[in-house]
Amino acid sequence: MPSGKTLKLVLLEVLQFAALSVPVFVVMERFAALMRDIEARNETAYWLVVATSVAYVTSVTLLVWVPLKFLILKRRRFSTRIRQWRPAALAHVILCTLPCFAVLLAGSKVQVDRGLRRDLFTELPPSLVLFCLICVDVIERIRPFNLTGKDRGGLDADFDARSSGLTHLEQVTTVSAQLYLDRAQDAAPAPGPPPEAPNGAPSGGRYDPADSPGPSALTSRAPSVAYLYSSTPRSRSHSGPLGFLWARDGRAEVVLDGFLFWLDTAEMLRAAGQPEVFYSGWAFAVFALAFLSCLRLVVSPRDPLLCSAGFALHDLPFFVLRAALIVVFGYVTPVLYAAKNALACLAYVYFTFLCRLRIFRRRSMF
């Protein structure tokens, strides 16, 4: 009887391989059906495209996917040195997402050149490609944790650290309390040097290694404080008939977070399915920027590089493209997403670069 770890490994690997191969087969079969209709029911063109898809998946599996998985699962040195990016996700984006987007563009180009409008490749192919991409993301993030039993807390803590929009939470003193502390510090006489202990450290109280001349972090807090953010600890139990409403599990939240993370890209692919966009040159720009957005999957979820990658590969290009699509075609994409991209870009530039300037670091400002 195989162990639970073996069953989990087999299940995850089968799901990842299915996410790699199924979108290629579906998109290529759709393109083969289009070629058969264009060539006056020519079955040879249909089976030629299908055979090409089978040969592509077989060669990619034997030459790239299996050796890569062998290095990740068997060679511990190879996997332990990689912390900031995910090789399996990169292989999926290059070997599956890129060919599928290329076939979708080829279908648009073939119809435009022949003056036909028979297949928009809408709904199923783009949704399937993005759904498999989300599955790969979820599998890579949930792989280190158990699939059965209760959550040990590691995944919950990791999810809370990334899901909160406030990355640094502190206690904020009130205005009256801060003024009282400032006056008290100005009126107090300057303390003399504290007596030294035999080992060289100040006697009485705790030793501050930073040797800061200002008040310590303990004395600068006011008695009356307001918390910017508070959450109920997971260890706290809730009783009563509605106690099940407080039940949470980080593994389920990872699945939801994966879909929310790719919602903007899904909307962009939906806009590419509009007839006026799909049968024009703008389809190449939409699929190209959607592929750049998919490259964010390569960066690890907890890596600080993900924020910069989201700005450079997703929000900024999507905002420019959405503004251009609205000007040229009208409201083929919602204004809400364009506003989201613009606000995300402004927030990134302001809090990352402008807040470091001297003018924004004055205490007198809000």
Instruction: Report the distance separating Cα 141 and Cα 88, nearest Å.
Output: 12
Is residue 201 in some structural domain? no
Which stretches does DSSP call E strand in the chain? 171-173, 225-227
Is residue 219 in some structural domain? no
Is residue 234 in some structural domain? no
Collapsed DSSP state (helix, strand, coil) of residue 257: helix
**What does the pLDDT read at residue 334?**
92
Is residue 220 in some structural domain? no
Consecutive 10-residue runs of the chain (366 residues): their mean pLDDT? 82 94 94 86 88 96 93 70 82 95 92 83 85 93 82 52 41 51 55 49 43 41 37 51 78 87 92 90 94 92 87 95 94 94 94 80 60
Number of H helices, E strands in the chain: 16, 2
**What does the pLDDT read at residue 124?**
83
**What does the pLDDT read at residue 190?**
52
Q: How many domains does the chain have?
A: 1
User: Residue 271 is part of which domain span?
Assistant: 4-147+252-359
pTM, full prediction? 0.73
Instruction: Report the distance separating Cα 344 and Cα 311, nearest Å.
Output: 8
With CA atoms as reference, report the closest residue to 157 among 261, 302, 297.
302
Core vs surface per residue 186-218: b (16+ CB within 10 A) or e: eeeeeeeeeeeeeeeeeeeeeeeeeeeeeeeee
48 C-beta neighbours (distance < 10 Å), count: 12
Is residue 33 in some structural domain? yes
**What does the pLDDT read at residue 262?**
92
Is residue 192 in some structural domain? no
Is residue 160 in some structural domain? no
Cβ–Cβ under 8 Å, residues 266 and 129: no
Is residue 175 in some structural domain? no
**What does the pLDDT read at residue 197?**
47
